[in-house]
Structure 1
């Protein structure tokens, strides 16, 4: 019996490899586009790694079933992040435009889950960013209005913010500058708990006379003071020596 060695056999043999190469090409193009998009959203990122898990048909429809992202030393909206390990699923993107060399765009909001680590140095660097500084300032205004210290809450000039992390304890200090230029140090030590997935609250806060004080006065008015995390939902918040670990979910909007 004669065996065929014509072009039909060669084409049939080449089809699986062609399909695999096509799928690999789309994945590589998308991975590069995702990396460029992430870099456009952050001020800085080191050691960025993006992995796409998808079948050919799903990619061609513009849906990425799953993306995993790992990064170190990222700065996002002024927040310094030591380590980032995130996973996003069912992501809708403008694939047709991407393969033509256009920038990647999200077509729908995506829920991203994972772990973020901030060390103490990151947290202190983040205090210069409006996102965190504004939340701290509002908190200190409430502290002043509660009468914990003798300062004018209507003329608050907040300088030299600093945080210290110890197991389950956060200490915050700042200089409050009066209209006459006099500096008054304020220092607060408190536990931090998850009241709800998107709400943090203070636990047994104390006003301490200075940053290194061992004892302080209870701030009963601020026990249970809450911080709304908006679209971010945490399953776990751990404060260790020199670092905070957050495990949860955040919403990324187009």
Structure 2
């Protein structure tokens, strides 16, 4: 085989990745998030696999990400078995995921990220619902809660908010441990609730949070000022 032909094939493959696939994947990932300060996409695939729309391995590195109102300091992901409509994308159509894809990696959430995320309905509503499940018989925590602060210490979470009703505002403080119960479940351990800063702490029962069948966490670490989680998730088309 002519060495020049081999070199031309390599050049064509590089051109296909750099001019078509890489920008299309970058735009696809970018379209899934609301904000990102830095985004890098790396591809491992042969020319035949690329032309068929198959990407055996995809790596994503992103900083300062906002997804559905949730803020992340850093995300490092690796996806395997990605099937796309690359031929249609080469004709100008948006790149799409055609089959479920397993994605593994690591995400870091800092205190500032979680506090910024409190502005999202997704997190604030989830915390209010969680409190109602932790204290189902406590009528003092019924109503709309304006969550104002999350603090992270080693093996400890502290959440504060204001319960607003027609006559006055009451400060609510919830503190608890957080650990993995299984790959798809988080466990709040030894939760305690304080209604107003002058009252005693109420001891609540441990509570499990089911993250869903698509999630498989391997590690969850609460450090001073941040949470680091490692695991995998199945991304659906």
Matches within 5 A, 1:188-227: 188-208=174-194, 217-220=201-204, 222-223=205-206, 225-227=207-209
1:169 to 136, 148, 156: 156
Matches within 5 A, 1:12-27: 12-27=2-17
The total of aligned residue pairs comes to 235
Aligned to 1:243: 226
- Superposed CA deviations along residues 50-86 of structure 1, whole A, max 9, x for unmatched, are 1001111111221001000000001011110100000
- Superposed CA deviations along residues 147-189 of structure 1, whole A, max 9, x for unmatched, are 2xx5262xx11114311000010001111112x2311111011
- Superposed CA deviations along residues 103-123 of structure 1, whole A, max 9, x for unmatched, are 110001111000000100001
Alignment root-mean-square deviation, CA: 2.0
Give the TM-score normalised by structure 2.
0.92
Give the TM-score normalised by structure 1.
0.86
Structure 1 runs not aligned, ≥5 long = 1-10
Distance 1:56 1:216, change over 3 A: farther
Distance between the aligned counterparts of 1:49 and 1:124, measured in 2? 26
Q: Which deviates more, 128-137 or 70-79?
A: 128-137
The structure whose Rg is larger is 1
Q: Post-superposition, which runs of at least 4 consecutive aligned residues in structure 1 deviate over 4 A?
A: none
Distance 1:246 1:184, change over 3 A: same
Deviation at 1:101, TM superposition (A): 2.5
Deviation at 1:216, TM superposition (A): 5.9
Structure 2 runs not aligned, ≥5 long = none
Aligned to 1:7: none
Distance between the aligned counterparts of 2:200 and 2:106, measured in 1? 33
Q: Which deviates more, 70-79 or 123-132?
A: 123-132
Matches within 5 A, 1:69-108: 69-108=60-99
Distance 1:152 1:101, change over 3 A: closer
Q: Tell me if 1:187 matches 2:173.
A: yes
